[in-house]
Amino acid sequence: MTEAQLFEGYGPVAGYDEMYGESGVRDLYTAVHAAFGKMPPEEVRQRADGLASSYLEQGITFGVAGEERPFPLDIVPRIIEADAWDEVEAGVKQRVKALEAFLADAYGAGELFRDGVVPRETVVTSSHYHRVVAGIDPANGVRIHVSGIDLIRDGNGDFRVLEDNARVPSGVSYVMTNRRAMSSGLPEVFADHRIRPVARYSRQLLSALRAAAPAGVSDPTVVVLTPGVYNSAYFEHTLLARTMGVELVEGRDLVCHGGRVMMRTTDGLAPVHVIYRRIDDDFLDPLSFRADSALGVPGLINAARAGNVTIANAVGNGVADDKLLYTYVPDLIRYYLHEEPILRNVDTWRCGDAEQREEVLDRLDELVLKPVDGSGGKGIVIGPSATGEELDELRAKVIAAPRDWIAQPVISLSTVPTLVEDGIRPRHVDLRPFAVNDGDDVWVLPGGLTRVALPEGELIVNSSRGGGSKDTWVLARPTEPIEEPDDDLDPVTSTQTMAPITAPLRGEA
């Protein structure tokens, strides 16, 4: 492959490309474009291989069908300018605040039902609505301690919300490891940009978790609860526990005693106050949910109800993730915050609505159909690429259970240059920014996880479907100070030089 071929065939693309605009390479990408243009293609490959092997060595993996795979990191970064980021940040904060207000209301007074903002039925028929937690008031009012709001850029380059994740959003560990890998894999390009750091995440998360401690606990013990080594996100659980300096526990390490939660240590039982759980609701407590679950802790929900332990994120948050509820979020923002939504939803039809359903059924072959409680791209049917048989099957499903489906137009996701077999080519991406709510404010990690669909034209950007990731650079403004060096890195604080070694080696005069 010659140098010219690296970017060959990369020109104006259908839809919005984040590097190439109508008049060539956008200013934002000139440095990156030039750097890759200067580098011999073999070197680009070598560096990309270096990234892959360092991930393999460190075991930065995710699980697919019980098998550990290194998480592919593309060597071309994705860049977001400060102004565009301001909008994302404000939009995410606004959305999280509205969802918090919604959850508090839905599990509490239920004013939104009386005011007719969302039908009560829509909420209580959600498979993620848990009556068992109604009436549990979270310690500092927070239910969504961590959220990941999935965004895409449409044909105009505008950010739009694809879905909300208020349960156990994952992927933040790759944001941190990607940054680390890129700063050593592409140091010269990295140094040419002023990039907002991401390593503050763990500190921010720990302080939000501590702030959520039960009343009267001044120095809470925080733990991360994992389903164990076979979970697909196990790497992330270990990274979060390690960088927060807290214990990573499994269900079998915990025990409930008189409404309190304790962990088994070599010195006996020790109290636990805040549990950042990475287990789904259904598996948390066999007394309240699935009796066959061996992952959870019997009695956990009672301890939370007694106010002795905080479960983060709160149980029952799934109603906020329900894709049917998604269609109401703009209304929720207006209702609770009296503001207009900053980030727009993707146009959505509710199949539960007779009129909308008729339209959807007429246009099945041109729409994207999504099950309302699915995640990870499961069950999604893309009309234009489905066979007649698949569409007939889908039609029957929608008619049988209309509440379970929403429909959206096929949106053209933006593309970003990505290293593939043939060279650097445009590939579809999405973005999951992570937000941490400590009760006083919602903090948004600058950047987030950019997932990239490696097969050409593939629209579902998901790691379980052969997706990769990109380091996402949010640029700082020229005058803006970059925060202190990442916690995780070793800061060079001393300018002291080492004393020279004066003792002669043996054998020297």
Partner 1 sequence: MLSRIAESLFWIGRYLERADDTARLLDVQMQMLVEDPATDEVTSCQQLFAVMGIEDFEGVPNRWSMLDLLAYDQKSPSAIASVIGSMREAARSARETLSTDVWSAINTTWQGVPAATSMRPVEMFNWVRRRTAMISGTADDSMPRDQGWYFYVLGRSIERTDMTARLLSTAASAGASGIAWQNTLRACGGYESFLRTYRGIERDTAAAEYLLLDRWFPRSIVSSLSEAERALTRLDVAGRRAGFSDEGLRLLGRARTEIEYRPLNEILETMPFEMERLQRACAAASDAITARYFAQEDWHSWTGRVSL
Which residue, among 196, 133, 205, has the nearest Cα to 173 in the 3D structure? 205
Contacts with partner 1: how many residues (CB under 8 A)? 27
Contact call for residue 485 and partner 1 (CB under 8 A): no
Contact call for residue 249 and partner 1 (CB under 8 A): yes
Contact call for residue 255 and partner 1 (CB under 8 A): yes
Pick from 233, 241, 381, 445 the residue near partner 1 by CB under 8 A. Answer: 241
The least distance separating partner 1 from the CB of residue 60, rounded to whole angstroms, comes to: 10
Residues 45-104 that bind partner 1 (CB under 8 A): 56-59
Contact call for residue 363 and partner 1 (CB under 8 A): no
Q: At what angle are helices 354-362 and 388-400 packed, to 10 degrees?
A: 170
Q: Residue 153 class from Cβ within 10 Å (0-12 exposed, 13-18 middle, 19+ buried)?
A: buried
Contact call for residue 199 and partner 1 (CB under 8 A): no
The least distance separating partner 1 from the CB of residue 462, rounded to whole angstroms, comes to: 24
DSSP letters of 439-470?
Answer: SS-EEE-SS-EEEEE-STT-----GGGTEEEE
Pick from 83, 267, 389, 508 the residue near partner 1 by CB under 8 A. Answer: 267
The least distance separating partner 1 from the CB of residue 257, rounded to whole angstroms, comes to: 8
Distance CA 20, CA 12 (A): 6
Which window, 134-142, 227-235, 390-398, 493-501, contacts partner 1 (CB under 8 A)?
227-235
The least distance separating partner 1 from the CB of residue 313, rounded to whole angstroms, comes to: 20
Pick from 66, 135, 216, 268 the residue near partner 1 by CB under 8 A. Answer: 268
Distance CA 418, CA 454 (A): 8
Q: Residue 495 class from Cβ within 10 Å (0-12 exposed, 13-18 middle, 19+ buried)?
A: exposed
Distance CA 361, CA 394 (A): 9
Pick from 74, 164, 250, 404 the residue near partner 1 by CB under 8 A. Answer: 250
Pick from 119, 265, 358, 483 the residue near partner 1 by CB under 8 A. Answer: 265
Contact call for residue 294 and partner 1 (CB under 8 A): no
The least distance separating partner 1 from the CB of residue 198, rounded to whole angstroms, comes to: 18
Contact status, residue 97 vs residue 335, Cβ threshold 8 Å: no
What is the total residue count of the chain? Answer: 509
Contacts of 409 (CB under 8 A, 6+ apart): 346, 347, 366, 367, 368
Q: Residue 128 class from Cβ within 10 Å (0-12 exposed, 13-18 middle, 19+ buried)?
A: buried
Pick from 106, 239, 295, 452 the residue near partner 1 by CB under 8 A. Answer: 239
Rg (CA), the chain: 24
Residues 450-479 that bind partner 1 (CB under 8 A): none
Which window, 95-103, 189-197, 255-263, 320-328, contacts partner 1 (CB under 8 A)?
255-263
Contact call for residue 234 and partner 1 (CB under 8 A): yes
Contact call for residue 228 and partner 1 (CB under 8 A): yes
The least distance separating partner 1 from the CB of residue 339, rounded to whole angstroms, comes to: 40
The least distance separating partner 1 from the CB of residue 243, rounded to whole angstroms, comes to: 9
Contact call for residue 264 and partner 1 (CB under 8 A): yes
Residue type, 494: S
Contact call for residue 269 and partner 1 (CB under 8 A): yes
Contact call for residue 252 and partner 1 (CB under 8 A): yes
Distance CA 346, CA 344 (A): 7
Pick from 92, 182, 208, 263 the residue near partner 1 by CB under 8 A. Answer: 263
CB nearer to partner 1: pick between 38 and 264: 264
Tokens found for residue 111: 């004013």
Tokens found for residue 48: 């990309």
Distance CA 452, CA 418 (A): 8
Contacts with partner 1, residue ranges (CB under 8 A): 56-59, 228-229, 234, 237-239, 241-242, 247-250, 252-253, 255, 257, 263-269
